Amino acid sequence: MTVALALTWDGARWPVRTLPLTARAFLDAKPQAAPIPSSLTISQLFAADQIREIRICWVPRLKGGDDVLSDSFQIPGGKRMGFHPVKTIRFDDILGVIYRRR
């Protein structure tokens, strides 16, 4: 499964509808991409080892507050999951990054 999100530098969600068309197309490039899930759902998907690719548009803003993806979660075996960047694309001041499992 692929998760596609727009995030600020501090990990808060950013509305995808405010991104340029090219950045929105980058996030929609995978037909099996899940609709934007809640932080709890993302944590559960990671814990169940269901996420293989993450597409993120990093928006150069700081939002702050409680609406950030900072909930911790435990995965089987207590090990970290290895994701590595495989592609980066610039959309003006937005950075699109594709991360895949190692």
- Written as one string, the DSSP assignment of 25-92 is HHHT--TTBPP---HHHHHHHHHTT---EEEEEEES----SS-BS------GGGPPP-EEEEEEEEET
Position 44 pLDDT exceeds 80: yes
| Separation CA 35–CA 38 (nearest Å) | 10
Does the 2-101 domain belong in CATH 3.40.430.10? yes
Q: Where are the domains of the chain?
A: 2-101
CB 73 within 8 A of CB 82: no
Helix (H, G, I), strand (E, B) or coil at 9: coil
pLDDT tens track for 61-95:
887 666 565 555 555 666 666 789 999 999 999 99
Position 41 pLDDT exceeds 60: yes
Mean pLDDT of 3-22: 89
